[in-house]
Structure 1
Amino acid sequence: MSVQSDGLEQLQSEVRRRGGTAVPRAGREALIDINAPDGSRYLVKLKTKQSGDWQAQKTDGAPRSVRIDAWVFVDVHQPIGNARVVDAKWMRDDIQGQVDDWLAADPSRNVRTQNHHKIEEFRVAEWSGRWDLIGLSAAAASEGRVTEDNLGAWVFKCNPKVWKLDDFIADGNDWIENWSVVENYRSAMIGDGQRAILWVSGPETGNTPRGIWGLGWTVGPRYPVVDTSGDYWANLERQAAVDWFVPTDIVVLDEPILAADVRAHHPDLQHLEVFRSPQQANPSWISKRELALLEGLLPEWPDRDAQAGGTITIGSAGAGYGNPVTNKIVEEEAIAMVTAHYEALGYNVEDVGSQKLGWDLTCSSRINGLARVEVKGVAGQDPLFLLTRNELRSAREDKYWELAIVTSALTDPTLAIYTAENVIEQSEGYVYQVDLGDTKPKGSG
């Protein structure tokens, strides 16, 4: 499916959900006849994108013989309910004003030969969700924006062409412990104990037909990711683009609930966001009302695993156990304490943690020389933590590398410094768990 056809499908679905119909006209220009619930008719011009800016023409600012009532700007990765529905006269005047400025800057320019015109998102941001301009009442919209009050369950979509769910199941796996999400207000809302659904997108036939493949829970807030390696990624470009994960406790169903069965179960379920905006980035969602409509189709919701949520997390704020938000606070406290320690020793300290070099602080001094310090903070008293592969590589290869660990970081912070040799000797496992409980700190005799 092309971006243009996907945008049209989303628009038609949203208009139907609001009680109207949307019928495309023949021709290269994407003009759509809208029939509103009250019998009014409108003509809209559809613009669709999946990234960057929307594309138009400079001549779109000129008067035209066919009256257009509105432009509809669709981003296929965003909720269709928030599409920009822009008054056509305003849009025409805005384009013409930019063209006039463009020509004034260089009168030798030619609109006909340089007709391309981009429309940035910020230019039409104020028109988000203005369906009333084409006779579709805003009050008719379902819960386009997620709130704590209307959230029924988060929906995490799996594209089998990106992540090989069939191989995952064939290897005997039946539990999803995390899933990738984008950074937006929705993923920021995710926390412990919210219902979660695994939805497979794509065709309705084959080894992994479209539908509900798993039920369960979220077990904590999103966390930033350093390492996305694994055996089931089919698309390396999409894999490399992952920046955030959500910890989950999702059980894969013995038999999936197919999309066709979901649509047939209740007429209103055909308006689920996974049908209206199939290309939208994770997380998607369903409302409490939609979840109630699904209940007769779903098996019993699995109990949450009492051990879930205690998993290891690795992020840009450091690696550690438990809640990623708490980990970030602990790490910030540790960085501040270690920075003050080295500055008191006469070092000039530069925080380079965001560069992912394999250490957090570059400490230089004319007297003491150079130290490249990896900082770890833990909330408890035990010096037990995680290293990423990049951090362990630096410990092995960089003679200036050393470790500063702050225990009881939020209550009674205590600092200890260890050599790279100490750390390497006690490191084990794929993500290199390190326990320095029986190792003396540097300089302690």
Structure 2
Amino acid sequence: MELVNVETWGSELIAPDTPRYDLMRDVRVGDVVLHWVGKNNPMKFKSGMYGASLVARELQPRAGDWFGKPASTIPLTGYTALPRPYLLTDLRNQHQENILDVRKELEREFAEARLTIYFPFQRHPTSGLKNQGYLFKMPAEVVKRVHGLLPDSDWGGFDRSLVAPPVSGQNDVKQRYAGFCADPILKKTIEMQAVGQATAHYEAAGYSVEDVGAYRSYDLLVKRASEERHVEVEGSQGYVQKVILTRKEVAHANEFEPTDLVVVAEIPWERHYDGSNDTGEGIMSVYPDWRPSPENLKPLSYEYYLD
């Protein structure tokens, strides 16, 4: 079970490459990963279990970045949402003693061997059942006693198509921006899907299209007769309320007319056991003759020159 406090989950496990997170090295291909959303999440979701994934590949040492530090990653696949989130309040009300009894039984069983019990829950002195931290082992006995903790009882595969988490409308909270993706390979796959959809859109309208994203401050150069347009393309695996733009992208959109903005949201994806990713068609919105309005721009960082 992993604890997440980000707007997306289900694509990978990621943790700093330090001894504190050595449990990452115990994860194996085919393991089930339960996704627990913590109370400090930016979506304001209630704390609880929201879905599960399968481990697609072995640990990738130093393949990611954790706030500027090298991080290990483990690719996941087949994210499936619970039919209804299993909230912490539900577990406290219905299964608290059952879960904590499992912990006591394991502690008694392994007391003589003096082995560490990486149990995902503990008892808080005042509030009761409480999750422990980022990554812990979920004993099979807990899954057996807590009905509905997995999307299907046999876990023999998924009978529903993969969805990009979080699922819209879950937890009675409006889903917010889910565009950030920490997995660079999946991120690139989603970007390519968005560019492909945008290309098809302009070609259907009679434009010739050239992908210039590798060396220009925009993604597509489209031409039709004497008309030339520059197109900025943004793709997301989830609902989009805002997009991340670089300084050069904003400057170019303000300097060149006409520039269009194309946003492709809710792109479905699936990761295979060989590590490859497949994507499907997302929901495309086209904003023609777009110029970034200053009131809609929010600075995420500043460059500061020392005296």
Q: TM-score, normalised by structure 1?
A: 0.28
Structure with greater Cα Rg: 1
Q: TM-score, normalised by structure 2?
A: 0.37
Q: Which has the higher contact order (CA 8 A, sep 6+)?
A: 2
Point out the structure with the larger helix share.
1
